[in-house]
Amino acid sequence: MSTSESNPVTRNPRWSLAGMTALVTGGTRGIGYAVVEELAELGAVVHTCSRNETELNQRLQEWSLKGFSVTGSVCDATSRTQRLELMEKVSSVFNGKLNILVEPVYVQNRVSVNEISSLKEGKLEWRKMVKCQLRARLVTAN
């Protein structure tokens, strides 16, 4: 297969994201990883973040070897301070221009639904989930 057949941007320019910028939170694993790969393959310049610096650096090296334009920073989406720092970094990297925001990051609930309503720990876990799932999106969307 020739390079033009294997590269979706070359094969179908309609799907080109050349010149577009994207932020993908949690881009070193799972759905986030797949989204970073797809956006970068289509020509977008991508910034991603992860709590795990070692894993982030491994992925950045991997993407660089593929010729993708991906940068990254360490960020825990449950930390307001780190989310704000992430937005400052992204604004700097993209010169204030963000076209695409993908936030597949989630906090896994380790407490059952019954415990959430009855235990102090459950209520704290619930607050942590709400903080990450809702508040993080509001901060990054502003």
105 has pLDDT over 80? no
Distance set, CA 103 to CA 1, 9, 26, 97, 136 (Å): 34, 24, 7, 17, 9
Paired residues of 25 in beta bridges:
49
Type of residue found at 121: E
pTM of the model: 0.71
134 has pLDDT over 70? no
Fold (topology level) of 3-105? Rossmann fold (3.40.50)
Strands 100-102 and 45-50, bridge-based pairing: unpaired
Task: Average the pLDDT over 57-67 and give the result.
Answer: 97
Task: Average the pLDDT over 13-22 and give the result.
Answer: 88
Domain ranges (residues) in the chain: 3-105, 107-142
Beta strands in the chain (DSSP E): 21-25, 45-50, 70-74, 100-102
Question: What is residue 7's three-state secondary structure?
Answer: coil
Task: Average the pLDDT over 72-85 and give the result.
Answer: 89
Paired residues of 50 in beta bridges:
74
